[in-house]
Amino acid sequence: MPSNPPPAGPARRRFALTGPSTRLDPRTNAVRRDIADIRLAELVFAPHYAAPLAMIVEGETILRAESSPGSDTVAILKTDEIFEVLEFSGGNAWGISPAHGLVGYLDAGRLTSLAS
């Protein structure tokens, strides 16, 4: 009788949910009610987790607190800074700026792939 082959790739790290989610500051941790950064999976429960996609900022752009264009400015991102995108929606990108350690929204048209 053939045995099951081992899974391809590195072994999965396991963790258990042992209680309520940790309350994290959403200004500095990419977590919302509907989605969270996969790097926070051991700390918070979310319906969906996303792996960050590192992209490059093209031209100075505003990182906003909300998706609406008139919302508060969180930071000004400079040309060639990295922005880690967790969601694209409605012409916006939501994620975190590693240089500033802040989470927010920016115009998705201001981002380019690292491979370009």
Percent of the chain past pLDDT 70, that is, above it, reads: 81
**Domain of residue 81, CATH code:** 2.30.30.40
CA distance linking residue 66 with residue 43, whole number of Å: 23
What pLDDT is stored for residue 29 in this prediction?
A: 96
What residues contact 70, with CB distance under 8 A and at least 6 apart?
none
Does residue 31 belong to any structural domain of this protein? no
In the chain, the number of structural domains is 1
What pLDDT is stored for residue 23 in this prediction?
A: 84
Does residue 6 belong to any structural domain of this protein? no
Look at 2 and 88; give whichever has higher pLDDT.
88
pLDDT one-digit tens code per residue, 16-64: 656 666 789 999 999 999 999 999 998 999 999 999 999 999 999 999 9
Structural domain span for residue 42: 36-113
The mean pLDDT value for 52-80 works out to 97
